[in-house]
Chains A and B, each alone.
Chain A
Amino acid sequence: MRIALHALPWLVAIGAYFAMPEQLPLLSAIAIAALFALSLDLLVGYAGFVTLGHAAFFGLGAYVAGILGQQGWGEPISGLLIAAAVAALLGLVTAPLVLRAGELAGLMVTLGLGLMLYEAANKAAFLTGGADGLQGVEIWPVFGAFRFDLWGRTAYLYSLAVLFVLFLLAQLLVRSPFGLSLRAIRENPKRAAAIGIPVKRRLAAAYVIAAAYAGVAGALLAQTTQFASLDALSFQRSAEGLLMLVLGGLGTLYGALIGAAAFTIAHHTLSEASPQFWQFWLGIALVALALLGRGGLMGALRRMTRR
């Protein structure tokens, strides 16, 4: 029974590949959004550390993978790894700054760092293409065999596979003593310190891991769309990531997946009607979720199954 439940989202994801061949770009977008939400979940949901600038790592990953592809190294897997490493490095450098400042000021520092990176990418047009985005990205076939085709078949299966592997890794991580210590810090940092958990070091480690995950998500976006733009670094993206997470359910890995899927599908349907319409309902959803409390979709599911 449990195994069936765990397999369900992945069976749905594979089923969608056959059922909706004309919607593959949307499905890829969901997989990438899910990876981004997963990375935020590790930091916000498990470690309880709120950030407003997580798009910095997503965008950095996108630009690293994109620039690699543009400059003649289009091998996708190593591109992902390099993007993850660079994003993790940025996380490692900024973690002490963010953690030093204290809770509320730390929140503002993440916001400021995100905006700094956005503005830097905007002004460094020789490297990033500025407001026009990064043109001429070429990505080689995955494993030298599967080309990125026009319909997005390879893009979707590739994104889904990466998401699956990193999801399993995240599951190992949150069940490990390390993951448990993060939860202890979230529940009560003072007591966590009192029982011997090195709070700042653990938070820094969670920050770096989340940065690497977000970097991979950004790199996936750049590789599958063969394009990177300032959009990947925007404040909007950080806010949307938080919304996906809260929509799906904070601190549950499946919540990140469900939230990302629900969010992306809602975005796709509503913004077809009109962009203001989408923004309005997005705002209403944020306000309602903030006022009505956490659980999200996972919480609702749990309440339903318990009965």
Chain B
Amino acid sequence: MTAFLSVLLDGFASGMLLFVLSVGLSVTLGLMNVVNLAHGAFGMVGGYVCVVLLNRMGVPFPLALAGATVAAGVLGLVLERTLYVRLYRRDHLEQVLFSIGLVFVLGAAVDWFMGARQQLIQLPDWLSGRVEFWGVGLGRYRIFLIAVCGALVAALHLGLVRTRFGAQLRAAVDDGVVARGMGLPVPRLFALTFTLGSALAGLGGALGVEVLGLDPTFPLKYMVYFLIVVAVGGTNTVIGPFVAALLLGIVDVLGKYYVPEVGAFIIYTAMVVLLLARPHGLLKRADA
């Protein structure tokens, strides 16, 4: 029983991570209808920035996380303004080719500078080890993850529901044409959201080095996970992708732990089935 609880908590923590990594994608996909298969690359960049800051420069862990977030956000802003902006009106094939190309370029660059091996980080003392709660051993880092990601979920949800920016964003996702007609600065909204989404992915990648692992194949390995979160969660809320990410994380970790011989097959099957059952979860506008 206690073993089951530990595994469940692991799944919970990795679901939280998946949410932080993929929430940006769900907004950009819904907002501009861009098939961005390169979203994981921002997570990878964040992860590597964190590793370099922590291992080579001896920066404290929280500052390394902040550095990873900023670096991925800046990269997202630059790429959005220079390259992505040209692709909004193109068809899906060109978007697919472009984003796969971006994954290959960034993966090769990382491989060149950092090598193809898995990266490891040394967590600070206050985050390593376990604490016991009523006989259930919980890793400190898992608790830290759940706290940080939980705070992010709350902040994003309130930001989307309560602020003016959030209201504009929801309007633009619901109907971009009308939002533009009402005078909302949709391109600027998109640039801001893209930057924020990339920054969050960078943070997720940095937090996830310890849990999800990090090597140059990271963006392709987790691409399906991000797409599932988006497909199941819908595009106009924070709570939808959050629930989807939690379910995915828990099913994935439980599956890997209890039925390892089936492997990732469960996840892919779940993706196909969910896409068929809820094709419009992917793109809410298709309902209209």
A binds B: yes
Main secondary structure of the interface of B (DSSP, over half): helix
Smallest CB gap from B266: residue in A: A119
The residues of A that contact B91 with a CB separation of less than 8 Å are: 50
The residues of A that contact B220 with a CB separation of less than 8 Å are: 235
The residues of B that contact A276 with a CB separation of less than 8 Å are: 108, 111-112
With A105-B282, A119-B268 given, name 19 new contacts (CB 8 A). Answer: A50-B92, A101-B275, A101-B279, A102-B280, A104-B282, A107-B92, A112-B272, A276-B108, A279-B107, A279-B108, A280-B112, A286-B98, A287-B83, A287-B101, A288-B101, A290-B95, A290-B98, A291-B87, A291-B94
Most B Cβ at <10 Å: residue of A52, A119, A243: A119
The residues of A that contact B283 with a CB separation of less than 8 Å are: 102, 104-105
* C-alpha gap A102/B102 in the complex (Å): 26
Known: A284-B105, A291-B87. A108 touches B97 (CB 8 A): no
Q: Is the CB of A290 within 8 A of B275?
A: no
Enumerate chain A interface residues (CB-CB to B < 8 A): 44, 50, 52, 97, 100-105, 107-109, 111-113, 115-116, 119-120, 122-123, 235, 239, 242-243, 246, 250, 276-277, 279-280, 282-291
Q: B263 contacts the other chain (Cβ, under 8 Å)?
A: yes
Q: B288 contacts the other chain (Cβ, under 8 Å)?
A: no
Scoring B residues 64 to 102 as 1 if CB is less than 8 Å from chain A, else 0, what string do you get?
Answer: 000000000000000000010011001111111110111
Q: 9 closest A-B pairs (Cβ-Cβ)?
A: A286-B101, A283-B104, A283-B105, A290-B98, A280-B108, A287-B101, A279-B108, A105-B279, A112-B272
Q: B227 contacts the other chain (Cβ, under 8 Å)?
A: yes
Q: B8 contacts the other chain (Cβ, under 8 Å)?
A: no
The residues of A that contact B268 with a CB separation of less than 8 Å are: 112, 115-116, 119
Enumerate chain B interface residues (CB-CB to A < 8 A): 33, 35, 83, 86-87, 90-98, 100-109, 111-112, 220, 224, 227, 231, 261-265, 268-269, 271-272, 275-276, 279-280, 282-283, 286
Q: Is the CB of A104 within 8 A of B35?
A: yes
* Nearest CB of chain A from residue B219's CB, rounded to whole Å: 11
Q: Is the CB of B105 within 8 A of A97?
A: no
**Which of B93, B104, B282, B286 touches A242 (beta carbons < 8 Å)?**
B93
